[in-house]
Structure 1
Amino acid sequence: MKPATAGGPYKVPRQHNGFRSGLLAVAMHALLLLFLWVGVSWQNNEPTEVQAEIWDMKVQDAAPPAPTPDPAPEPEPEPPQPVEKAPPPPVEAPPVPKIDPEIALERIKAQKKEEERLEKLEQARLKKEADEKLAKLEAKKKADQKAKEEQAAKDKAEEDAKEKALAEKEKKKAAAEKLAKEKADKAAKDKAFAAEMSRITGSAAKGTSGTAAQSTGGRVDGGYAAAIKAKIKSNLVYGSEDDSLTASYVITQLPTGEIIGTRKVKGSGSTAYDNAIENAIAKSSPLPKKKDGTVEREINLDFKLKDMH
């Protein structure tokens, strides 16, 4: 038997001889029942036959003597009765040491606290494992999301680069086509202007009256410029209230006043206003002529918004 551990609860020692005592008791009872059964069986003998003679006094002759019966067999000796053994004395349990109730209570409390501490440690361990697993899952999820976003950004950058290259190519192509068209238009206008000038010059040489083009080296007639601006103003469509806008253009025209070219010398800073002026110039062809019926081949005009209202 192990002694009670200091600081732990008291436990009643187990009785290790109880099984052996019970086994011996069962064996003794079985032997006693066997002996009783054997004794009863041996005492149950068969009954002995008894014969009697009857004498009749009237009969003179004596009856023959009865046969002598066989002697009865001697009874078999009874078997010796087994000697009953006295059952072994019961094994007394060792005395239970007396424990102070307060000490036992303290031990129970200490054991309970220890169990609670171990349970808390186990719960903390399980929680830590769960948190670490969750953190790993979150980190993997973020890494996958980041990789997905980086791949999407890379794909978008490649797509944007392709679109930009295509747009640049289309832009260059459009610019080349526009330049070619402008050159073709300019050549056609120059050819038409030269033909018109030849016609006018030829007419003047024959003594006929015509509308000869004047050089641009001289001073432009103010009334002539005002007439041109007035016509362009009538075709201007622009609704801004910023009167500080001013744009300068050089207009090239045929002797008939038809416009064959417009070149912007100075922009106003507003694309919308510049486009509106160019559209108004194009709609004003042919332009007014001077009082003598002539025109300026090229004329430089300033278009101030405050004067175009």
Structure 2
Amino acid sequence: MKPATAGGPYKVPRQHDSWRSITLAVAMHAVLLLFLWIGVSWQNNDPVEVQAEIWDMKVQEAAPTPPPQPEPEPEPQPQPVEKAPPPPPVEAPPVPKEDPEIALQRIKKKKQEEAEKLKQEKLEQARLQKEEDDRLAKLEAKKKAEQKAKDDAAQEQREKDLAEQKAQKKAAAEKLAKEKAEKVAREKAFAAEMSRITGSAAKGSTGTAAQSTGGRVDGGYAAAIKAKIKSNLVYSSEDDSLTASYVITQLPTGEIIGVRKVKGSGSTAYDNAIENAIAKSSPLPKKKDGTVERELTLDFKLKEMH
């Protein structure tokens, strides 16, 4: 053991026999436990039988003095266990100072890395923006192409409809011109035939001249004409109330040169069917004497045309 230096703080000397102290402490605790066990056992002993004798009160003898009881030995006090002194604090190793040049280079490198990262982020944003702009441009171009295709199809359909209308008008004009030409030809033929008949009548010929239209139409003659027209009629309907009236103009040969509707039936289909049947019935039947009525008016009732 080294004495404390003069003027310095007192230091607890370091114990080098720690195992000895631990062994001594364990032994003291064992002795203490033994004494405690003996004391408990002594207090729990069976009681000693005591005998007493009764004496006459007249005899006054002093009772024998009880023998002195031995005093219990004092329990040994456990010695305090000396605690080991705490280990001395470990001092942290000194941090080496960084070279200012190295620190400056490190900071410069970090700034360069951050600048490069920022540059890459801007490039990535620009790329994404360009892709989005390209996508929107393609979408707009697609919409324009679809709209143009629709407009072209609509224009083509309009042109087609206009061409069909022109063709229909042209066909209608050609049909009308043809009908007029046929009518003129029929009228010329009728005039020529009438001139021939009139000339023959002036020479005394009889039996072939046309009858006056102002006379009454023969019932049998009208029935024969209706019967022929009926045979060429193609029409079916449950409404038997339909009636149409037509004026028919014919040549002396019975050929029809004109059909004029006087009264319609109210059904365009029935009227067209009657007109087609009249046209198919040319030439019409003649009277028994071989003559014809130049103009005759006939009523076509559907219930009679079945």
Instruction: Return the TM-score normalized by structure 1.
Output: 0.50
Instruction: Return the TM-score normalized by structure 2.
Output: 0.50
